[in-house]
């Protein structure tokens, strides 16, 4: 993907839990969801915009929110700490252009 075609991006936190030497270890990694004109890309998946039906979010504290990608493969959930309004609004404008 050409970064010039990037319409919007949002950072999410990927949390990996493991048990090492009898102790729980938690590793948090910052990753990005990138919205292009025809594709949404995450480090592990790529969806054509027509296969993403909606993007929504729910706040559950003053800092953290869950972002939901409603896709043809089900709903994917991402933990975010930034305001997703711009990302969601850009997606909805793009979807309205295509329909």
Question: With bands split at pLDDT 50, 70 and 90, how would you rate the model's confidence at 96?
Answer: confident
pLDDT in tens, 11-39: 999 999 999 889 999 999 999 999 999 99
Q: What is the pLDDT of residue 52?
A: 96
pLDDT in tens, 48-92: 999 999 999 999 887 889 999 999 999 999 999 999 999 999 999
Return all residues near 93 (Cβ < 8 A) that are at least 6 apart: none
Contact between 55 and 88 under an 8 Å Cβ cutoff? The reply is: yes
- For residue 2, CA distances in Å to 27, 36, 38, 47, 58 come to 30, 9, 12, 16, 31
Kind of pairing, strands 46-48 and 65-71?
A: unpaired
Cβ neighbourhood burial of 39 (10 Å; 0-12, 13-18, 19+): middle
pTM: 0.83
Boundaries of every domain in the chain: 3-98
Instruction: State the fold for domain 3-98.
Output: PH-domain like (2.30.29)
Q: Is the pLDDT of residue 97 over 80?
A: no
Residue that the structure tokens 């043809």 belong to: 72
């Amino acid at each position: 993907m050409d970064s010039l075609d990037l319409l919007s991006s949002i950072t999410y936190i990927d949390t990996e839990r493991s048990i090492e030497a009898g102790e729980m270890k938690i590793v948090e990694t910052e990753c990005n969801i990138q919205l292009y004109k025809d594709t949404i890309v995450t480090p592990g998946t790529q969806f054509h915009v027509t296969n993403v039906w909606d993007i929504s979010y729910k706040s559950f504290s003053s800092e953290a929110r869950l972002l939901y990608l409603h896709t043809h493969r089900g709903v994917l959930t991402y933990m975010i700490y930034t305001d997703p309004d711009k990302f969601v609004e850009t997606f909805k404008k793009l979807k309205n252009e295509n329909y």
